[in-house]
Chain A
Amino acid sequence: MKAVDGVSFTVNKGEILGLAGESACGKTTTALSIMRLHGANAVVEGKILLEGRDILQMSNEELRDFRWKRISMIPQGSMNSLDPVISVGNQITEAIQAHENVHKSEAWKSAEKLLSSVSIDPSRAKNYPHEFSGGMKQRAVIAMALALNPSLVIADEPTTALDVVVQKQLLLLLKELQRNLSISFLFVSHDLSVIGEIADRLAVMYAGKIVEIGPKSVVLKQPSHPYTRALVNSVPRVFGSRQLLHSIPGSPPTGIWPSGCRFHPRCEFAFEPCKQKEPQLEVSMTGVHAACHLISQEKETGFSTKR
């Protein structure tokens, strides 16, 4: 089974790239592959270049050095990824000492500093995870991911289990870190509104492929791919006019992908070529990249179909 198929994208320095899509579309597999944390039975082909070096070609020692220092991860459900029997400060200290030859007291000091950078009172470093609230645990994990000044942080659904007020707080924090430390983020989420709030650019995945990628505001406001459009239109909104929304017929494929364009069985605009030929990413009328046969048709005929 192909979980991710022919995916290419670039995260620029200091930007937040959002990776959106429904469950089982390959978001998390993509994220884990970048960290080389995919399962032992996974066959990974292609290249993952960070600052010019291919992560897939690295030896285990090189990789160990690379992780945390150059690239780190805020895993899915990371509130639960803290060790319950070690104090939060010690967990951060451990991570620092595993990579850098520093004295414990020095590492502890940096741990305190990291905690205050995510708005946690440094005196709380000696507390255990159960003494933290959900949002604080999440912030502590973020502090840990930043411990060795990585250039890229992969955040996999970092706000999913959180309440909306705490979520907002975290998004503000990540944005601030991006600005102050010029860290790049790959922000994986199923929630388009969260991505819309935080990302600079947005990639939408469907059935293991990227179907649209471009500046966030363009992708969300004038989607080029019918799937993006359907996704944007199926979220009940709190603000703006109240209208009947249309759901996407059928359900996302799992395991066996349809022929041609993988979205064609659910697409209201599907026509003959969609069933046979797989569309490639190309520049759409709005200037983003999208993989849809309608785009080339629009370009040929010179007018846009009713989408």
Chain B
Amino acid sequence: MAGAETQGDVHKCDLNGILEIQELTVHFHRKDRIIGRQTTIHAVDRVTLTLSKGETLSLVGESGSGKSTLARTVLKLHHPTSGTILFRNKDIFRQDRTESKSFRKRVQMIFQDPYESLNPQSTVLSSVIEPMIIHGLAKDKRESMASRLLTMVGLDPTSKLDRYPHELSGGERQRVAIARAISLEPELLVADEPVSMLDVSIRLEILHLLQTLKNELHLTYLFITHDLGVARYIGTRIAVMYFGQIVEIAETDELINQPLHHYTNLLLSSIPGSENSQPLAVKADVDYSFSATEPPSGCRFRTRCPKAQEKCALKEPELTELTARHFVACYYPLSR
């Protein structure tokens, strides 16, 4: 196909797609009790994204950009305002009870804070076997399965199975959370900042563990992180989110070495120790916060963008494939 093609067409051809997100929009409505005005928070807006089997897609962006909402919607923890999510070509929001239960078995989540994601009153054993009970694994097999899972995540089952979360370190807790997430042999793991609460020396061990498990269990990851270093270390592709939308998506090295969107460039040039060739885009006197209730017209980044033109305010740029497998939503992308 000649010239630029829109993302939707390309992604329909992807036969390996395990998860397809199409035009997903998630808005939250909040009514102010005193003045009675309703506000809408645009958490995710018209996001289209395909995850291929076996890849690790890192979703990066600042806090409030909609990363977590997108991830939680994939797990059916939020209902979309519009748009669809297909898992194995089936719409996850049109499932009957059996399908829904099977879906929840095949898609699992790892949360950010291992101090809060484990029940403080449950031992490691009961935390790990709880999903097995819900999904009806035979009673006599549960304990041996739990031991096997702990070994897989690098914990000694004999000493750890009857421990409570407060007796474990942060890294050990995250391992237990991972053991529980893989206990039902899922196909897709959604990890929401799984290492951001951990110390650097522990962080790397967990990343290596996730990598090993991915290879052994043929997992696909949707990996949410604010840390581009982590995204680069673990991810095969990176998607950059800004204000509820994906503004750029490409293979990891391509995105870091040849960013096309001005926002990606801003992120990259803000990283401590950055030796980015592009001039530093951070200004000391600009308020970089944004309000999620009133998105700017047209391109949402235009209010902060150094290259914004008149056109940017008029119409929202579409995510377009500029070079092979490198999509960007910008009228005036950075030159290569």
Contacts and interface: CB of A to CB of B under 8 A. Distances in A.
B114 interface: no
Contacts of B199: 22-23, 190, 252
Interface in B160-213: 169, 171, 199-205, 207-208
Given A237-B229, A242-B232, A173 B271 contact: no
A72 to B, nearest CB: 21
A9 interface: no
B171 A251 contact: yes
Contacts of B169: 251
B226 A173 contact: no
A128 to B, nearest CB: 15
Contacts of A197: 272-273
A136 B229 contact: no
A268 to B, nearest CB: 13
A80 interface: no
A187 to B, nearest CB: 12
A166 B202 CA distance: 26
Nearest to B228: A238
B329 interface: no
A234 B226 contact: no
B285 to A, nearest CB: 4
Contact of B201 (A169, A172, A234): A234
B155 interface: no
Q: Which of A22, A168, A169, A230 has the most CB of B within 10 A?
A: A168
Nearest to B269: A168
Interface string A227-263: 0001100111111001001111001100000000000
Interface string A133-170: 11110000000000000000000000000011111110
Interface in A168-194: 168-169, 171-173, 176, 190-194
Contacts of A237: 229, 232, 273
Contact of A238 (B62, B204, B271): B271
A127 interface: no
Contacts, number: 115
Contact of B287 (A133, A164, A238, A247): A133
B332 interface: no
B230 interface: yes
B323 interface: no
Given A236-B204, A239-B256, A164 B62 contact: yes
A196 interface: yes
Contact of A166 (B207, B229, B288): B288
Contacts of B274: 238-239
Given A235-B229, A236-B227, A236-B230, 8 more contacts: A169-B284, A190-B199, A231-B201, A234-B200, A236-B204, A236-B234, A247-B201, A251-B202
15 contacts: A22-B201, A133-B289, A136-B287, A136-B289, A163-B63, A167-B270, A168-B271, A193-B273, A196-B273, A231-B200, A235-B229, A236-B234, A237-B273, A238-B229, A239-B275
